[in-house]
Amino acid sequence: PFDTLVIGSGPAGCAAAIYTARKGVRTGLLAERFGGQVMDTAGIENFISVPETEGPALAKNLEQHVRSYDVRVITAQRAAKLIPAEKEGGLHEIVLESGAHLKARTIIVATGARWRQLNVPGEEEYRTRGVAYCPHCDGPFFKGRPVAVAGGGNSGVEAAIDLAGIVSHVTLLQYDPVLTADEVLQNKVRSLPNVDIVVNARTTEIRGDGRKMTGLSWQDVKDGSEHSIDVDGIFVQIGLLPNTDWLKGGIEMSRIGEIGIDERCRTSIPGVFAAGDATTVPYKQIIVAMGEGAKAALSAFDHIIRVPAA
């Protein structure tokens, strides 16, 4: 058995595995895809101390860094189930989709999240060439140019407010008849001169010139009329889905399936820790996920030295 088994090899999982390995703890890492969401990212300009990099390059560095330590990397496998230890200090069990079982004294869940997509023509084609999901990450790439935001909940309205200070104009497209964001955010966004709000709008297509996005079409769901606007980008803000379905039932989660953690990355199950985008931690960013992974690892180590093995 492992002392620590880390599930997921994005920024949070890689940081966790490196930290536990550096403590001399027997560490396993379930690495379905090194880098996680970072692999889907073109330019990264907010990974502090590295002014500019690209997703695949950062993912490669993550893998190299992990492999420079004594970490047992298990590739091409996904966790399907967690069976918590029966008594304190006992072994937790992870069942893989292949049916195999792995045991460990502590588990660090770092299975990340994925952005909900519009699922319209052009979205895949112009991903990273206009279609964006993270305003903190990609907002500055659209400086002085017109963009749209899809989604009128808190994240969509926050994105519109954030982007309005950077881009020339924001069109906020909301499918529902009203914005569902908090009142204070709605008041703020309505006060901005360069934001237009369109409700009852269903985005139907992302258009482009083959090289980059040039506009989008939307339909008025009330009267069926079709509309089209020219924008250089769209920020899709219709939800971030944590990859935690496989844990449902056993562990405390938020309404939207984020694993509940305390300030030490402890979950509701003793000996099971969680880090990064799969958790309730606010602000889903690479540097935040790495910090959380480090924190979860140090907490796991603390657990190992304090709780006697059963």
Q: For tokens 């509940």, name the residue.
A: 260
Nearest approach, Cβ of 3 to ligand FAD (angstroms)? 19
What is the nearest approach in angstroms of ligand FAD to the Cβ of residue 283?
8
Q: What's the token pair of residue 292?
A: 């959380």
The tokens 């993912």 sit on which residue? 59
Check binding of 246 to ligand FAD (CB under 6 A).
yes
Cα–Cα distance, 210 to 104 (Å, whole number): 49
* Stretch of residues binding ligand FAD (CB under 6 A), selected from 150-158, 200-208, 211-219, 270-278: 270-278
Q: Is 113 in the site for ligand FAD (CB under 6 A)?
A: yes
* Bridge partner residues of 31 (DSSP): 75
**Site map (CB under 6 A) of ligand FAD, residues 62-101, x = contact:** ----------------xx----------------------
Task: Select from 151, 122, 146, 170 the least CA-distant residue to 236.
Answer: 151
Least distance in angstroms from the C-beta of 310 to ligand FAD: 26
E strands, the chain, are: 2-7, 27-31, 43-44, 53-54, 71-75, 79-83, 92-96, 101-109, 113-115, 131-132, 146-150, 169-173, 195-198, 201-208, 213-220, 226-229, 233-236, 240-242, 272-274
| Residue 8 binds to ligand FAD (criterion: CB under 6 A) | yes
Our finding on whether 274 is near ligand FAD (CB under 6 A) is no
Matching residue, tokens 């959380």: 292
Tell me, by CB under 6 A, how many residues bind ligand FAD: 37
CB of 103 to ligand FAD, least distance (A): 16
> Is residue 137 at the binding interface for ligand FAD, with CB under 6 A as the rule?
yes
Q: Does position 44 bind ligand FAD by CB under 6 A?
A: yes
45-70 burial code (b ≥16 CB/10 A, e <16): eebeeeeebebeebbebbbeebeeee
Q: Which residue has the tokens 């490196």?
A: 18
Are 247 and 278 spatial neighbours (Cβ–Cβ below 8 Å)? no
- Residue reference for tokens 């907010």: 46
Binding mask 150-189 for ligand FAD (x = CB under 6 A): ----------------------------------------
The reply on whether position 37 binds ligand FAD by CB under 6 A is: yes
Which residue stretch of 11-19, 57-65, 163-171, 204-212 sits at the interface with ligand FAD (rule: CB under 6 A)? 11-19
Residue 236 interacts with ligand FAD (CB under 6 A): yes or no = no
Using the rule CB under 6 A, which residue among 6, 102, 110, 297 binds ligand FAD?
110
User: Nearest distance from residue 161's CB to ligand FAD, in Å?
Assistant: 19
- 192 phi and psi angles, rounded to 5 deg: -90, 130
Task: Out of 18, 25, 38, 108, point to the residue binding ligand FAD (CB under 6 A).
Answer: 38
Check binding of 10 to ligand FAD (CB under 6 A).
yes
- What is the residue-wise DSSP string for 173-186? E-SSSS--S-HHHH
- Token pair, residue 195, equals 């934001």
Is position 139 an interface residue for ligand FAD (rule: CB under 6 A)?
Answer: no
Candidates 2, 19, 126, 133: give the one binding ligand FAD (CB under 6 A).
Answer: 133
Structure tokens at 47: 């990974």
Give how far the C-alpha of residue 49 lies from the chain's centroid of Cα atoms, to the nearest Å: 21
The radius of gyration of the chain's CA atoms, rounded to the nearest angstrom, is 21
CA 108 to chain centre: 16
Binding site for ligand FAD (CB under 6 A): 7-13, 30, 32-33, 36-38, 40-41, 44, 46, 78-79, 110-113, 115, 133-134, 137, 243, 246, 276-278, 284-287, 289
